Chain A
Amino acid sequence: MSEPLVFTKARTGSSVIRRAPLLAVSPARRQALAMTLAGLGLAGPAIVFLLGLFLLPAVAVIFVALTDWQFGAVSFSFVGLDNYRELFADATFRVSLVNTAVYVLIVVPGTTLTGLAIALLIESGNSCRSFYRAIHFLPFMATITTMAIVWEALLHPTMGLVNQLFAAAGLPTANWLRNENTVLPVLGLIGIWQNLGYAMVLFLAGLKRIPQDLYDAADVDGADLWIDRLRTITLPLLGPVSVFVVIVVSLKALESFDAVKVLTQGGPGHASEVLLYTLYRESFEYLRAGYGAAIAVVLLGLVVSLTLINTLIMDRKVHYQ
């Protein structure tokens, strides 16, 4: 690394001298222009795609939400905020919002707390760390569509392993995915199963950043019990990471779709109807583009708000340190 450094300095000096006469008019401006051309040339293709595939569609979705357009229709008219009015008056959509909130409230604490507990346990010893990390992380990269089918087999009302074990243990059995009281908690558990490895690795990364001196200092101060160190150092210093995990997992939970599509199609009734599934059904099954777009805008609003909260908290954290 150091060799090219020296080399560069020597060459840069000579090149300035050599170039000076050529750029007699206004060297600085000319160089700035060349730089701008190079920059725009390199960034240009990506930016064209970004505008076409991200920004314009985002603007379009906000625009379509203000119309009564249906897929396939030749014409449409502006209806102002009618779609939003209809949306919030629609019982199904309100159920969908509430279900999404309940789902997020099951998945986020469940994932965060178990993820934290497992990360702490893994870090509390030196052996088999990467083995434990790997087996707890595996569900996060699994194909949910296929794993949902496995869960369906496990939860089969009469012949599934879960009911067989519950019956053998004298516990109440249920038709887990067809009962409106159990379907959302069961989907939530599947969500926790999938995401807790993710929370775990984020916490492991956070634990690695806690300086060892703090623990040494705590030892000197007499905090030699494991629980004291956890309470006075580990948990407080994991604060910012925890906020980050909560938000990232919330975003993941907000965007869950696959398990609902494979297992319940929003049912029974609308008991497992969640936001993204409602968006999918209204837009692509009922082809109500305007209405579907309004749901998309609501989802976008939620995601952007969560992201901004995250950014604000993370910025504050940086100032503290």
Chain B
Amino acid sequence: MSATTSGSMSTLAGIFRHAVLLLTGALLLFPFLWMVSLSLKAPGEIFHTSFFWPAQFYGIENYGKALTEAPLLRYLFNGFVVCALILALQVVLCAPCAYALAKLRFLGRDLIFAVVLAGLIMPHQVLSLPLFIIGYKFDILNTYTALILPYAVSPFGIFLFRQFFKTIPDDVVHAARLDGLSELAIVWKVMMPMSLPAIIAFSIFSVVGHWNDLFWPLIAVRDQSLMPPPLGILAFKNEEAGSDYGPLMAASTLVMLPLIIAFLVGQRWFVEGLIQGAVKQ
């Protein structure tokens, strides 16, 4: 095969590669573009034109309606509060446990690790029924606590941090001990600053998961003022009888926006974080 033929072959292959990937990419992104497009269209126009760009710009009305007719800002606020508190609790509880499992040798360590692994394979929805009963008994249903508490500890977080801590040399730990740091101080002042990739990966995994969760909030809260975004959107859809797509799409766009912006900014970290999540299984 001469150099020129193989050269034109690879040019052809390159064109084919771009053509296919642009096509599949466009197909996958289409629902997002359609969502934004519908959020800018007037009610009469929504179903009568197949074009992206609205003939009559109706964005202000739709977004205005989404923000005034549903407590959308409240939903978003609830989402931020719930995700932030869950993540904070998870890190505070998981990191010391992961350090003990990775760096200390003690009686019962293997048993504790077995408990972590057992928690790791458990699908959370299976536990919803007993968790609902616990919430009922302690009278915390329909509160922020009900949304946050079931996720206070993450077996995956313990697992991920343990894996990462194991790659940090023992000598670092010994040196910190000789400097007079307590074990707990070693976790926060030595291990955590060295584990930034694991922390970021876990944070994305946790926040994306809980921002998008519908199943548990559906069970745990009834008050609109407590609803996280997905549940709020569902309530908005049911109230609007589901046919007023303009404001509904405006609300959906606003709910997706924080995740999409975060994704565009830290794309590499997102992919990394959610791949790490695969070891959960």
Contacts and interface: CB of A to CB of B under 8 A. Distances in A.
A266 interface: no
Interface stretch (A86-94, A100-108, A152-160): A152-160
Contacts of B152: 49, 53
Contacts, number: 301
B128 to A, nearest CB: 7
Name the interface size band of chain B: 35 or more
B121 to A, nearest CB: 5
A15 interface: yes
Interface stretch (B56-64, B91-99, B195-203): B91-99
Nearest to B6: A224
A32 B108 CA distance: 12
Nearest to A59: B130
Contact of B18 (A4, A128, A280): A128
A284 to B, nearest CB: 5
A38 B183 contact: yes
The CB with the most chain A CB atoms within 10 A, among B50, B122, B134, is that of B122
B125 A118 contact: no
A165 B131 contact: no
A15 B180 CA distance: 12
A113 interface: no
B163 to A, nearest CB: 15
A159 B127 CA distance: 41
Nearest to A47: B112
B256 A142 contact: yes
Contacts of B94: 46
B252 to A, nearest CB: 4
Nearest to A198: B274
B208 A141 contact: yes
Given A138-B28, A147-B31, A303-B123, A248 B278 contact: yes
A39 B183 CA distance: 9
- Chain A binding surface SS class: helix
B13 interface: yes
Contact of B28 (A61, A127, A139): A139
B178 A12 contact: yes
B34 A150 contact: yes
A156 B38 CA distance: 13
A202 B278 contact: yes
B104 A257 contact: no
A146 B233 contact: yes
A161 interface: yes
Contacts of A303: 121-123, 126
B275 A202 contact: yes
29 contacts: A5-B169, A39-B109, A47-B97, A51-B115, A53-B150, A57-B129, A58-B118, A127-B14, A130-B268, A135-B28, A142-B256, A143-B230, A144-B214, A145-B230, A145-B231, A146-B252, A147-B31, A149-B252, A150-B32, A152-B242, A153-B34, A153-B38, A153-B245, A201-B271, A202-B278, A257-B125, A258-B214, A262-B237, A292-B129
Nearest 5 CB-CB pairs, A to B?
Answer: A159-B47, A39-B106, A46-B97, A57-B130, A145-B230
